[in-house]
Amino acid sequence: MQLEVIHNGGALRHGSQEFRLKDLVGVDRLGPGGLRIRSASAVTGGRLRLVLADGATHHVALPAPRPDGPPDLVVRGAGQLLTMNGDGLGLVENGAVACRGREIVAVGPSAEVERDAPAGAATRVIDARGGLVTPGLIDPHTHPVFGRSDRHVEFDLKARGASYLEIHKAGGGILSTVRATRAATFDELAATCAENLSRLLRWGVTTIEGKSGYALETAGELRLLEVLRTTSATHPVDIEPTLLGAHALPPEHADDRDAYVERVAHEMVPRAAGQGLAKHCDAYCEDGAFTTDEVEAIFAAARANGLGLRLHAEQFTDQGGAGLAAQLGAASADHLEAISPAGIEAMARAGTVAVLLPGAALTCRCPWPPARELLDAGVPVALGTDLNPGSSMTSSLPLMMSLACAQMRMSCEEAWRAVTTVAARSLGLAWTHGRLAPGARADLVIFDVPDHRIVPYHYGDNHARVVVKDGRVVIGG
């Protein structure tokens, strides 16, 4: 049996098949220092012997296709079940969900699920106790991998009146995290990333979009993407990786912008795409960051290399980024606090998803993103935490829902769609994530509340009791 450890120990290759570590060893059996495979060998009976980075040894079998039969997991007794199918919430009262392997096999009223997917002797049954059951939440905009720096000091400077752009132009902000990230080891970065994912998971987030962007040099950006790939293969939360080489202009290119843009477009992008490290390419279109012409050059290279497009746009000033994102067919334009009516119209025509980040607006004292205007114009709206060490150090997606409802005039239904089905659409995952339906990924959350409106209404508290990822209970139970 030929076995190859790949992705920096995050996965194993057997023939043409790849197996993530978290699919070989249950995440509940992985110690904090054991999130990478050191070696793998075949033993008798077709089983494998895995030695992990912390020295722990596990004997496992390669996962086989799950035959038809009783479900592995049934969640029943939901007071409200949000399937997110159709244009609304797809709300079912007294609902249930049955899962086999990593997929949902039945969902709907409890009586129908019991008839269509009856539990067997080995089926695990969880009583939702009249609570709320929803798809696993999706965070479509995060920066989870970075070196530890003193950005809390900058938080205090902003509290005393300094602006984000003032701090950035003085060499702080993103550049302070760049210095710490370049100095950190791979394992240090992976540990920080895993900590951030664990925080998100506790709030019910099961899939995220994760960006690089804190190295600003080719080898460093590729290393951050490798951290994301390894961590995604070992941690319960799945990461959709995005190259953000154009996050800021690095100090060594302060007098040669063209050379850096050229490097991002014709060095970082082809290598990230060619090595399968990124699915998307992002850029920061803003005063003090990158111009629309520079972004267009980078995005032309990204499209030529098969990467999807996402754009930081109109966070502080209107640079025309939203219109550019729409024109180039980007999946999303994110932030949008300073978007113009023309930008909204362009996004509506193109169907570009607006990923709004109220945590960043709150911390940076920006105007609230114009969610109501975007929605009324027909722009699909998603919500993200923008988890990052500078402008939005939060992992609470439900808190973003609260801010969206209380400050941005979104309804509770719109907020729920923004963290499930619309967020999935922005990542190209609309058929498999963000909804509860047969064939969809078995990611779901049980909230200890009887009504979906309580989650955004009761802001700041965590009501997630059980989190299921890929058909496995990873929180609570």
Q: How far is residue 164's CA from residue 388's CA, in Å, rounded to a whole number?
A: 14
DSSP assignment string, 353-380 = EEEE-HHHHHHHTPPPP-HHHHHHTT--
- Here the tokens at position 256 are 């040669």
Share of the chain above pLDDT 90, in %: 82
Instruction: State residue 1's pLDDT score.
Output: 63
293: number of Cβ within 10 Å: 9
Radius of gyration from C-alpha coordinates of the chain: 22
Domain boundaries, the chain: 4-60, 73-134+440-475, 137-426
Tokens read off for 78: 């939901």
Interval 321-368: pLDDT, tens: 999 999 999 999 999 999 999 999 999 999 999 999 999 999 989 999
Asked if CATH classification 3.10.310.30 holds for the domain at 137-426, the reply, yes or no, is no
Q: Average per-residue pLDDT in the chain?
A: 94
Q: How far apart are CA 90 and CA 422, in angstroms?
A: 14
- How far is residue 158's CA from residue 221's CA, in Å, rounded to a whole number? 28
pLDDT at 169: 67
- Transcribe 45-101 into DSSP letters: GG-EEEEETTS-EEEE----PPPSSS-SEEEEEEEEEE---SSS--EEEEEEEEEET
Give the pLDDT confidence of 374-394 residue by residue, as tens digits: 999 999 999 999 999 988 999
What the block records as the tokens of 196 is: 């951030």
- Residue 248 CB neighbours (<10 A): 22
Whether residue 156 contacts residue 438, with contact meaning beta carbons closer than 8 Å, is answered with no
pLDDT band at 170 (very low <50, low <70, confident <90, very high): low
How far apart, in whole angstroms, are the C-alpha atoms of residue 145 and residue 269? 19
- Class of domain 73-134+440-475 (CATH, top level): mainly beta
